[in-house]
Structure 1
Amino acid sequence: MTLHKAILTVEADVDGDGTFETGKFHMAGNIEIVPSLRTGFVLDNRGSTINSVVSSTVGSGESKRKGIYLDLGGGVRSVEVSFDGWEGSSEQWGDTGDGGPTKADATGEDPLTQLEVLFQYLSVAEIDSRNPATLEYGEHYSDGLYDPLDVVLESPQGTRTAENGSTFSGSLAFLSVQAISDVVDGANRTG
């Protein structure tokens, strides 16, 4: 079954009590998901210079203005998610899905409160390779074809307009990240 929404999971001590809350943010309204791949060639623009040198030594009659590219898996998977939320939505927006509102949950609450709770998680959490967030969408979820993605966020934005105060929109760019714990676990298994 394909997951037709995006779910962001973030762990942070948003209420300042010394324990981490696990916030789950279900983005489902008017959702747009744009997966992409930022390539990261080990050898790219400089490849045309190398090709020119090689071509001149072997006497190739073809154009020397062709690049040589070497991939080796460089680059990063990215996913951009745009969505709408609204007051009264039953989609979980925080740690419990019960609303309240509380410092850790704003399910079904005022759109500005929902934005504030999301951005409190994002502001307090240290989301990086030590503590990645998790993104689920499409076939990337626990029972999907692929595992959920460990991610970091890039330039999250949210908008609530005065003209339609019962809704808000957001856009989040996610970059797939290697969790340091996975690297350490792999080294321990092989070493």
Structure 2
Amino acid sequence: MTLPYARLTLDAEIAGVERTGVFELPGGPQGASSIGEIYRTGFLVEDTGTGVLALLSRLRDDIDLDDGTVRVSGGGQHAFAIDAEAPTTTTKPNSTEPYQWGSSPDPTVGPNKHTATGAHKEAQQAVLMSYIRNGVAGDSFTPATLELFEHSESGIYEPLTVGLEDPETAIVNDDPTAADVSFTAVSVLDVDQALSQLQRLP
């Protein structure tokens, strides 16, 4: 079954506690969301002096190292450009269930530093950006999970492990409920998982 909206899951330390935040972005008339799928060609990763790429090259035969840059044969970057509105008090289609925004699906739990389900736009803006800042969601060591359409637990493809490029939120002054949310989600290698595989190699 196709997931009719985007769901972004971020792990972060909020107020000294490890939290998992789920951010559901409604689509269609409810959220005015625009989702564009992108496939970028060219160089994939640059080494930052950590030597991680040299280690990862042992995992795959099609990784070639050249001047500190790795190109995976036949590879490219799979990405989604997302522009949507925070759901605030919107409920899911044919349901009274609100879109989750943070650590709890229950709107009575917040708003607070880690959840803002069903809350006003200013709270939802602040909570999302807090997870992004504290979770370093552009880092392959702490990637996010993106589910949308067929890339979901109920779809025909697996959810995507992603890093976030240029996440941005904006309060819409002429709309009392709207907070715009935009980011590009780029599929990334989960380095922690890859290094765990590397440690098991003979």
TM more than 0.5: yes
Q: Hey, what's the Cα distance between the residues in 2 that align with 1:129 and 1:108?
A: 31
Report which of the two structures shows the higher radius of gyration computed on alpha carbons: 1
Partner of residue 10, structure 2:
10
Q: Hey, what's the Cα distance between the residues in 2 that align with 1:72 and 1:78?
A: 18
2:111 is paired with a residue whose SS is coil
Structure 1: gaps spanning 5 or more residues: 43-69
Structure 2: gaps spanning 5 or more residues: 45-70, 91-97
Q: For residue 187 of structure 2, what is the amino acid of its counterpart?
A: S
Partner of residue 145, structure 1:
156
How far apart are residue 85 of structure 1 and its match? 2.5
How far apart are residue 98 of structure 1 and its match? 2.0
Answer whether contact 2:87 2:99 (CA < 8 A) is retained: no
RMSD of the alignment, in Å?
2.0
Q: For residue 138 of structure 1, what is the amino acid of its counterpart?
A: F
Normalising to structure 2: TM-score of the pair?
Answer: 0.74
Matched, 1:114 2:131: no
1:131 is paired with a residue whose SS is coil
Partner of residue 133, structure 1:
144
Q: Hey, what's the Cα distance between the residues in 2 that align with 1:71 and 1:118?
A: 33
How far apart are residue 108 of structure 1 and its match? 1.0
Matched, 1:33 2:21: no
How far apart are residue 88 of structure 1 and its match? 1.4
Matched, 1:158 2:149: no
How far apart are residue 158 of structure 1 and its match? 1.3
Q: Hey, what's the Cα distance between the residues in 1 that align with 2:120 and 2:43?
A: 46
Q: Hey, what's the Cα distance between the residues in 2 that align with 1:86 and 1:96?
A: 15
1:91 is paired with a residue whose SS is coil
2:21 is paired with a residue whose SS is strand
How far apart are residue 188 of structure 1 and its match? 4.4
How far apart are residue 71 of structure 1 and its match? 7.4
Q: Hey, what's the Cα distance between the residues in 1 that align with 2:36 and 2:174?
A: 28
